[in-house]
Chains A and B, each alone.
Chain A
């Protein structure tokens, strides 16, 4: 039985075959050459493979094989010289360390060479080849200036702690309520059943040791170098030096914060590794009665973030962090990660040692001995302390089942500075779960902070007598090593940490200095040079690369088992042969070794010539990859067909719109829209195939009133343009409303992928959006026989050919998808807002068409208050139906004599005009007015310059350059206003909306995104609304500050301690929703995920209300704008990702909660709804705003009853009130004709 098959195309089949038949990993990776390493990393994480032994190496290889901007990055040590100033700007050469390093830069002489980082303009197949070849040329510096160069390698540390609570890698948010105990599988030894057992006297003795040391100022300072930390976790240290924390991670995070940015940002799987290790190092109390988690909780901690994950970090970040720790006077550095050696690292470690900074580093982990059980760097440097693992029963953390993670050790030569302490089953603070720890922390990552804490305690005790240089490092190592409990030295080095006993060892300051650490093995010098005399920089670079290859290549390790011991001549020859055949090594190194081989062995390498043969590159790529086009060009009318019949306007009425590319079925039918062209007489028109080559080559059908195919293409193009505007402003995909279930009004389970668009559905002068069909229906009619405008009497006029009408109706559909309750009239503003908003979108879209914009700006000489088609809507529809002007006009109108006059704002209108379209026109006019003010503000300088300061334009046409500049500003201002208006939709209550509340939404949404209101946009809106008498109720003043929604006052709920925890529970649930949505591309998947998350949130809130004491539950519900007792609905849930103009990232979730009851209106029950919109900022995380419409508000009940009562008495308005009204928008638009 087979339920599922995977269908692949020929291209994928070829890739699979190539991988299957490849002879090496390198060849396999080449088969996927177009892949993105970040995508690969995401895949590894999601598939749970990141903790596999192959995955880390493979990921590193992928970063090299699939060229990224970082794979061309090198670290280069340069002599300071004037030539540096002339370095090639393309290489972006800059110092590695922000501040001057300690050594050699004294007195500002800058005599010593310094490390720099650069991106080379020309890449290479192997990153080491970048360092070996043409480096000086590429950098644009003198060859003699280069002291050393190495690639900025991605490093990978095998670790099992990058797992969620359930033991799986972090793909979704952890379940913070889950209890994860110690792990006894795979023969891992359990510790005693007591919190933080590892601190006990039978184990590390850290508990007794920390009790024995009284900390005093200035306190011992610990550098925590890791993936950052979660400051809100109870396991975070109490004494973090906030001002000194830094991030050196290679991402866009804040460089002055070591806070772990959380999953779902730069990386989908941020692990929280640092949150776990910092807790063991110096963590606080896990609970009010709990003991401290950290071994040195009294010490000062300087957190430094070097990456998002220990599985991938860069040499450069690590070197920077160590240098920074030295500069900040840290006493000890705790490093639960590591990798391959690096010159930048070895120099940083030597510099730290000289400065008295004791580096404590993890020995590393492996799975079944793979890729190697040898200690990794920097733990392998002899001037550090390498931390190995020992289990609770005193046995080495090794020889457990081969599929499990275990600690690294050896070779013997690397164990001279090693000590062991306890792992696994150490308490591990869980990132993103404020109060949760799991008790199965493992790996040498969990052991390292214990030793670092012991070092800190010892330093604190003896700080009065310790000099600040290398002698303190030797002294503390002596104390720890000599007091350690003896064990199997092969695995445990000096033995098991006994922190309390170490305190009794007094400082010995006469110990011998450890020789400087090197990053290569001695025997390599025989291979790359003569092994005597001064080593040239080039040779040192070969040696370092060889060392790295040795540690990565099992074949080399098998030939030379301990690189610190003497190597026989036979092994040496074999080693060199293997290097020449090692495809992972650079070509330069392999060529060099081949040359050296003939000197060492007196013969050539077997097969060497073939292995080193220069590949013959074809003249150019044999295969052509054609990318998908970014957009499709489609011809359309700029306004409507009537303009093409006038000489003045025909020139710009035919435009070509750029619509986001998607593959289309005939119709057109795509992801969002399906155009179905059957008219009211059931005649079906042939669907246009916009993917046919003929139409693709000529941007679709030419504009024509008589061609149904053009009608279909035009509605598609304009509706898609409108959708794109919304998606840009909202930062998320547009979703249509769910299909209505006539049996159950609360059923919202039926996803609608495509909005149906029917260009000729109605034989009437109407067009409307049908929620029932989730469709746009457009009509056509015959022009007025008596006053046909520009038409032949009786000729056909099509709504689907009016740019404005299509945009207007599409907006109705989008708005209904977001706010389904906004077609329930509960006050005069609700339906009017729907109409007005649709008009605003249609109007503002005028300004996105350069042809029409420049023409009209030229015609009005830049005065947007003058009569122009920019402020008019549906001109053809209006004229053909007997009106003088457009169907609606935002700035003026024609009187009975055909004379146009501007509309003058009258504050009384808002209280007099009640029909939806006319009332909506007030809002449209207010927004347009604000737009004009903004436009004038943006262009006042231009006009001053053009008029030499007078501001008065000379008579006649204005210069075309000025027209273009004014048009550009108008377009920009319109785009901003449209975005502001759309974004405000997230900041309004879910029911019973008023214009005043919409204004508050506009102000708040804009403030949140653009705090600095340079062009006074917000003031312009307030002024325009005020001129039309549109005020929010209940405000004392009408200033921007008072109009902004106020933040949520949490003090009432914080009276109850348990409420704080419940609030975090709710916020975590929302974070998990946001995380789940980040990478969902498919709208259907997003729809169902959102629906599922709405249900989960409902469950969480119900549980919170049930578990809190009644008073606390009432306060909590009140904060959310709910009554705790009646049922509630999580009506909407939306994720939003916005970027402010200054690059600020604002991750938000918008939640709409609603409740329903009934009110009696003239003896008949009518639904009455309340609820709130919560704006949640996930970066804090906190509820920023709770925009409420309380269901228990008697005033609102009275107002609503009065409004509905009055409406019911009017037979026309009663059409809107019928609960089962089938087509609310059809009625609305028909009524418009009656206005």
Chain B
């Protein structure tokens, strides 16, 4: 039987119209049902710095972005069985893994507010093979995790002073496997950037957090807002 996972609000990257993408951090996910009780969710945390520049011809003067994030997965009455563990990720770290899908799952935005959604429902076919690659060169970052029992919390931090050239355009892939017995598969995923920093054209951090705050304020006065608010989505399975 085909299953559908309702996502509300429909804030996944895939559904956001390009013009509306004003975040420095995005979330995307793929769900899979490993068995009747277990749901696996592959999370893709997308770091996307925003270029700041003068006029249309000028090359980028600065970038504004984040170098860390907190991601919380919480189930309602579920138990986490497995998830991406803490890791100190070294320079030139690369990790590719492939897996075949177990079930066909339809991902559907549950729209409770009038939001323009591009794409609409997305289906992931059974047996399809997906490949995930994480690459981090010239930088180092640390992933820590806290097992909450019914959920898991990750914190990604970049040690200060490290070059973040490639990291800034990176994606962070995490997964979690969670099982429910006799209750609907539902929960919440929250994502929040740890900081908002400014980078030079070579994408090196150029200011501390205090100065970054004032630089954000200078942009804010110009009518530009760099969003660092928490993204929170709820998911719920319906058959």
Contact = CB atoms under 8 A, between A and B. Distances in A.
Interface of A: 1-10, 12-13, 15-16, 19-20, 22, 25, 28-29, 31-32, 35, 39-40, 43-44, 46-49, 52, 54-55, 58, 166-168, 184-185, 403, 1091-1092, 1095-1096, 1099
Contacts of B18: 3
A171 to B, nearest CB: 8
Interface string B194-225: 10101000000011011101111111111011
A20 B213 contact: no
B18 to A, nearest CB: 5
Contacts of A1: 48
Given A2-B48, A19-B207, A29 B214 contact: yes
Given A3-B18, A19-B218, A47-B213, 8 more contacts: A4-B22, A8-B52, A8-B53, A8-B61, A16-B52, A43-B217, A403-B194, A1092-B114
B215 A19 contact: yes
Nearest to B153: A185
A16 B218 contact: yes
Interface string B89-130: 000000000000000000000001110000000000000000
B214 A7 contact: no
Nearest to A1091: B114
B9 interface: no
A9 B218 CA distance: 11
* In the complex, the 5 A-B pairs of residues with the closest C-beta atoms, listed nearest first: A3-B21, A6-B52, A54-B210, A43-B220, A15-B218
Contacts of A10: 54
A58 B54 contact: no
Interface stretch (B78-86, B159-167, B228-236): B228-236
B219 A8 contact: yes
29 contacts: A1-B48, A3-B18, A5-B50, A5-B53, A6-B52, A7-B55, A7-B56, A8-B53, A8-B222, A10-B54, A12-B218, A13-B54, A16-B215, A20-B198, A28-B211, A47-B196, A47-B213, A47-B216, A47-B225, A47-B229, A49-B228, A52-B209, A58-B210, A168-B230, A185-B153, A1092-B114, A1095-B114, A1096-B113, A1099-B112
B61 A13 contact: yes
A1095 B217 CA distance: 33
Contacts of B216: 43, 47
Contact of A39 (B209, B221, B232): B221
B21 A46 contact: no
Among A2, A25, A167, chain B packs the most CB atoms within 10 A around the CB of A2
A20 B209 contact: no
B229 A168 contact: yes
B206 A2 contact: no
Given A6-B224, A7-B53, A19-B218, A49 B114 contact: no
Contacts of A1096: 113
Contacts of B218: 12, 15-16, 19, 31-32
A1092 B113 contact: yes
B219 A12 contact: yes
B170 interface: no
B7 interface: no
B62 interface: yes
B222 A20 contact: no
B87 interface: no
Contacts of B207: 19-20
Contacts of B51: 2, 5-6
B34 interface: no
A40 B217 contact: yes
Contacts of A29: 214
Contacts of B222: 8-9, 12
A164 to B, nearest CB: 11
A28 B50 contact: no
B64 interface: yes
B88 interface: no
A1016 to B, nearest CB: 47
A8 B54 contact: yes
A46 B209 CA distance: 17
A1095 B61 contact: no
A1092 B111 CA distance: 13
B213 A54 contact: yes
Contacts of B146: 185
Contacts of A1092: 113-114
A2 B52 CA distance: 12
A39 B218 CA distance: 11
Interface string B15-40: 00011011000000000000000000
Given A3-B48, A1096-B113, A22 B209 contact: no
A55 B213 contact: yes
A1136 B217 CA distance: 29
B206 A20 contact: yes
Contacts of A3: 18-19, 21, 48
A167 B230 contact: yes
A787 B52 CA distance: 67
Contacts of B53: 5-8
A54 B212 CA distance: 11
A1096 B112 CA distance: 9
Contacts of B209: 52, 54
A1065 to B, nearest CB: 16
A851 B148 CA distance: 77
B114 A19 contact: no
Nearest to B217: A43
A433 B61 CA distance: 45
Contacts of B211: 19-20, 22, 25, 28
A49 B198 CA distance: 16
A35 B217 CA distance: 9
A1137 B59 CA distance: 45
Contacts of B21: 3-4
Contact of A7 (B54, B196, B228): B54
A19 B114 CA distance: 40
Contacts of A9: 54, 222
B17 to A, nearest CB: 9
Contacts of A168: 229-230
B213 A4 contact: no
Contacts of A1091: 114
Nearest to B146: A185
Interface string B41-81: 00000001011111110000110100000001000000000
A4 B226 CA distance: 11
B9 to A, nearest CB: 12
Contacts of B64: 6
A178 to B, nearest CB: 11
Contacts of A1095: 113-114
Contacts of A39: 221
Contact of B214 (A12, A19, A167): A19
Contacts of B56: 7
A24 to B, nearest CB: 10
Given A4-B22, A7-B54, A32 B214 contact: yes
Contacts of A403: 194
B53 to A, nearest CB: 6
Contact of A49 (B22, B213, B224): B213
Nearest to A1093: B113
Contact of A47 (B52, B54, B228): B228
Contacts of B228: 47-49
Among B50, B64, B217, chain A packs the most CB atoms within 10 A around the CB of B217
Nearest to A1088: B114
A6 B153 contact: no
Contacts of A46: 225
Among A4, A6, A39, chain B packs the most CB atoms within 10 A around the CB of A6
A1016 B173 CA distance: 73
A1092 B112 CA distance: 11
